[in-house]
Structure 1
């Protein structure tokens, strides 16, 4: 991503997903299917990492929450399509058909958005921050001007100031990047805090039961006495709520802040999980016709949980991860965060079938306890990044900023008769300092 750009990385991920999806849909044996699934998983990892990075670097401080939250909305829409397609093809199998269409068509449909992304991506500009890192200043200026078309003045004051801030911060960062390895993720105190936040962010969200409910929702609804197509229908409706919640997140995240959204979301999910655990404990048994009100209450708490998760956590996690890392480390840092997302997902998803069959409703206690501690971790550890430029967020991690956006000078705004130069130095702990001489 750092070498070939965010744009080309996204295109590569889309191409890989098309190949993997085609292999899955056209599989003639288990080995071919597993190979296709492996390739699709690789593509998802690439896209999950590159897209939030690209979105964050193409956004202004005032719109970054909205823009990156679109990532969460699109993921939710993907789940929505898959759930309703699955609901539709259920009736083919329910009628006794032995056709392979009910499983080949849903799997092949993943190729459609990948093709749309690949075909439309040539129109996407390169990230201005990546262009500055590569010394392509004029291209970066043009991209920034196109992003500020509505608010910029005729002399491009706003875009020029942002360019100047990006350039000066990049010059400071490049002194660090010359020696950057993966060890840089934990080398300095600021980066160690970022790494811990990335770990807690994605492990915390997964330990609230996110993917367990999403992937085993039909089993959960069936345990509440739902039969026939009802578990599939309820899960599809559950995901409809997710799309609405992610839309709320995108619309209001920049207004109320990342930290406030996360705290409200975690508190709401904790209450919903507690209610789910209690109602399942008193209502779930071998008689589907017993304690119907209790089972309906349990279904309600599942919908309440996704309302809080989707509106406060789902999109926010991608926004926050892409924001906290400096330009020179954003690609690696985001990859590290997504790595934790996938590892946490594997742990809870592998454990879920056995847990549901052996301890039943008690499995929700496994999510309630971490969610309680997750709230306090966010409260004491996660700084607010709202309305700050990506370069200025470094201050939240006790690192210096080359220049603030409101102090940045465009190249043509230098003081007359005064020649000013800047010497950027980097200390052993990675902190940058700036000296100005006249």
Structure 2
């Protein structure tokens, strides 16, 4: 037994655990394999797989790329403020330092905007559609940028940052939900990962290198020009988002079944009205939507449905775990306060600090984009665990060097510290950045996806406010011991991830309902089903558990089935209906 990759008639690959095929699949090219979702594997093989170069794929790529501008706005701001914190002209104009309470408040007001924005993000996305949420978020970002770029005093600058934080939360609630809901199941990990990784890093790269270039200028334009550029991706979203199709899951939830089916036929089924993957998704979504209507709560301000059942409480815990706890493992220190860190270790040149920051963004960006292509290969759980371990190991030498740097430090030691900052960024970006918005959007059911995402944004905002406000004060008062706190939190976080993270790869969004309804969701998510893949035929032999002739039942998707699945040994073949031996 070993792991192999099965190639369908298209060029979509399905990674499976391969054994020798039994007699029932001896004719033709057959492999006995283990997959997460029997129904999805069956549909993919019958449709000939999902090709990277199919007409549907080529239509979907530009949509995904355009939507990534939502998170580019967020990435731009993170790198913008870190870079501007190294500009003497910025500090002189507003009379603030690189650290201390005033600087902490200047940075943290952005997260106050996020907190308020989270209250409006869910109703915007649920009641008026995912496109409206993105459009309205972009509008506030443009207005906030204008206010910030024309600032005459610190109060006006902070007002602009508040509006930008508000808009980013509204837009970045609808954006990742849209990407996850329009992506084919077999490519959801890649598209969802690229949404955050590519978008965030593209924004961060533009900001860091723009600031590096303008940082050599004299006067206010050294910081005003980078601020103005922040409006461009928001303006593009505002002007073009209504040209895109609406999310089919939102359409089904709002009684627009035919529009949803047309979307799946065009963007998932290559125009084939009888596509197996189209029929499967429509069946699953409608079944889930009908169930959700029984629990429907039309009061936008009521967040009790997020905690109405045991499995939903567990989902909320996971949202807090992956969204809030990872704010307290040291990434924010590097992201926002890198110039302060460099000052403390003896690298004080503003130009050198801007260059180090810009290179850090480059290395992290490359790592994060590469990581997207391994989300479905390694799985979400493995990436979370390895990310926590490797970044924690990087913090050990960073902690030691920071402690030795009290007082005088050799410049070589300072550059060693920078090297570990780069390593931290590479590991964090490869393992965690592709999952930042993908995983939360995956684990939430359709009826509370926007509310749950807004709840996470609210909690993220609280965590970020505490982090961005308290970190400069901690660096000022306890120095290197700040890193010790983050080091300890790293390994506590690793243990919590080990016991809690549910694997979501290889399953449709609706099948995850079955995973979370199980008494042991982590264990359940790691179960797989034995099948036999054969070219040119359909499913030929009935699994040992209850699966009906349409390919549905325990082997497929019953959103509220609490019974444990047996492993299913079936034969898959391309181009035919399911056949049982």
Fold match (TM-score > 0.5):
yes
Equivalents in 2 of 1:394, 1:380: separation in Å? Answer: 19
Task: Find the partner of 1:89 among 197, 214, 231.
Answer: 214
1:20 corresponds to which residue? 144
Equivalents in 1 of 2:154, 2:401: separation in Å? Answer: 40
Equivalents in 2 of 1:191, 1:311: separation in Å? Answer: 29
Q: Residues 84, 415 of structure 1: CA spacing in aligned structure 2 closer, same or farther, 3 A cutoff?
A: closer
1:135 corresponds to which residue? 255
2:443 corresponds to which residue? 324
Deviation, structure 1 residue 31: 3.6
Task: Find the partner of 2:221 among 101, 104, 108.
Answer: 101
Aligned partners of 2:134 and 2:170 also within 8 Å: yes
1:410 corresponds to which residue? none
Task: Find the partner of 2:358 among 203, 217, 236.
Answer: 236
Task: Find the partner of 1:225 among 346, 349, 352.
Answer: 346
Instruction: Give matches, 1:111-150, under 5 Å.
Output: 111-150=231-270
2:430 corresponds to which residue? 311
Off by >4 Å, runs of 4+ in structure 1? 430-433
Q: Name whichever of 213-222 and 173-182 sits farther off.
A: 173-182
Equivalents in 2 of 1:14, 1:63: separation in Å? Answer: 27
Deviation, structure 1 residue 431: 5.6
Aligned partners of 2:514 and 2:560 also within 8 Å: no
Aligned partners of 2:145 and 2:160 also within 8 Å: yes
Instruction: Give matches, 1:120-269, under 5 Å.
Output: 120-150=240-270, 153=272, 155-178=274-297, 181-228=302-349, 229-269=351-391
Instruction: Give matches, 1:427-438, under 5 Å.
Output: none
Equivalents in 1 of 2:245, 2:481: separation in Å? Answer: 50
Equivalents in 2 of 1:147, 1:257: separation in Å? Answer: 25
Give the RMSD, CA atoms, in angstroms.
2.4
Q: Residues 140, 219 of structure 1: CA spacing in aligned structure 2 closer, same or farther, 3 A cutoff?
A: same
Deviation, structure 1 residue 222: 2.5
Aligned partners of 2:134 and 2:172 also within 8 Å: no
2:467 corresponds to which residue? 348
Measured against aligned partners, the alpha-carbon deviations of 1:71-98 in whole angstroms (never above 9, x if no partner) come to: 2321122122111111111111xxxx33
Structure 2 residue 395 is matched with structure 1 residue 270: no
SS at match of 1:10: helix
Q: How many residues align?
A: 401
SS at match of 1:115: helix
Deviation, structure 1 residue 20: 1.2
Equivalents in 2 of 1:179, 1:393: separation in Å? Answer: 24
Aligned partners of 1:77 and 1:243 also within 8 Å: yes
Deviation, structure 1 residue 147: 1.9
1:425 corresponds to which residue? none
Equivalents in 2 of 1:304, 1:261: separation in Å? Answer: 16
Measured against aligned partners, the alpha-carbon deviations of 1:272-312 in whole angstroms (never above 9, x if no partner) come to: 01121012222x1433xx43443222111111111111111
Equivalents in 1 of 2:310, 2:238: separation in Å? Answer: 39
TM-score in terms of structure 2 length: 0.66
Deviation, structure 1 residue 35: 2.4
Measured against aligned partners, the alpha-carbon deviations of 1:204-243 in whole angstroms (never above 9, x if no partner) come to: 2111111221111111122222232111110111111121
Measured against aligned partners, the alpha-carbon deviations of 1:8-41 in whole angstroms (never above 9, x if no partner) come to: 1111111111111112112334443332222111
Aligned partners of 1:279 and 1:298 also within 8 Å: yes
Equivalents in 2 of 1:271, 1:365: separation in Å? Answer: 12
1:32 corresponds to which residue? 156
Q: Residues 22, 179 of structure 1: CA spacing in aligned structure 2 closer, same or farther, 3 A cutoff?
A: closer
2:407 corresponds to which residue? 286
1:424 corresponds to which residue? none
The gaps in structure 1 that reach 5 residues or longer are 401-405, 408-413, 417-429, 434-438
Structure holding more helix per residue: 1
SS at match of 1:360: coil
SS at match of 1:227: coil
